[in-house]
Amino acid sequence: MDLHNETVEHNRAEHAGEMHIVRPPVYLGIFFALLVLTALTTGMSYVDLGVFNAVIALAIACFKASLVVLFFMHIHYSSRLLKMTVGAGLFTFMLLISLTMTDYISRAWGRF
């Protein structure tokens, strides 16, 4: 039993460490950053950059998503295990995109 209580204590301590209080200015700052980036996306849609249209739009969207995950979802302040969990999701998503692209990129090459 002793051993058990110790681990419980230990877990609590770890939890307390994870609990990071984010101040309102941070949230507001992120919120405005998101608004500005949204405006930027809208603005860029009036400029024709050819193939880069989608690239720019997606880059801004990814940046915004990162802000949400890191600050609104507190991953920036979380344990390494949670960071890794998010990383695993991202990694899986990259697999989906990159391996699907092996098809789209080389489909027109014809047969060997």
Partner 1 sequence: MSSTIISLPDQTTARLPRKSYLNQEYGLKSWLLTGDHKRIAILYLISITFFFIIGGILAGLIRMELLTPAADLMATDTYNKVFSMHGIIMIFLFLVPSVPATIGNFLIPLMVGARDLAFPKINLLSWYLYVIGGIFILAAMVLGGVDTGWTFTTPLSTHYLNTHVVTAAMGIFIAGFASIFTGLNFIVTVHRMRCPGMTWFRLPLFVWGHYATSIIMILGTPVLAITLVLVAMERLFDIGVFDPTKGGDPLLFQHLFWFYSHPAVYIMILPGMAVISEVISTFSRKRVFGYTAVAFSSVAIAVFGFLVWEHHMFIMGVSQYSALVFSLLTMLVAVPSAIKIFNWAMTMYQGSITFETPMLYAFGFFGLFTIGGLTGVFLATMGMDIHLTETYFVVAHFHFVMVGGMLMAYLAGIHFWWPKMTGRMYPEAISKLAAVVTFIGFIVTFFPQFLLGYLGMPRRYAAYPADFQVLNVFSTAGASILGIGYLLPLFYLPWSLIYGKIAGDNPWQATGLEWQIQSPPLTENFVEIPIMDHEAYDYEWLANKTQHEVQTVG
Residues interacting with partner 1, by CB under 8 A? 1, 3-4, 6-7, 11, 81, 88-89, 92, 95-96, 99-100, 102-107, 109-112
The least distance separating partner 1 from the CB of residue 100, rounded to whole angstroms, comes to: 5
The least distance separating partner 1 from the CB of residue 12, rounded to whole angstroms, comes to: 12
Residue type, 68: V
User: For residues 12 and 35, which CB has a smaller minimum distance to partner 1 in the complex?
Assistant: 12
Provide the b/e sequence for 26-48 (b: ≥16 CB within 10 Å): eeeebeeebeeeeeebeebeeee
Give the C-alpha distances (Å, rounded to integers) separating 5 from 15, 18, 19, 48, 60.
15, 20, 21, 64, 48
The least distance separating partner 1 from the CB of residue 110, rounded to whole angstroms, comes to: 8
User: For residues 3 and 24, which CB has a smaller minimum distance to partner 1 in the complex?
Assistant: 3
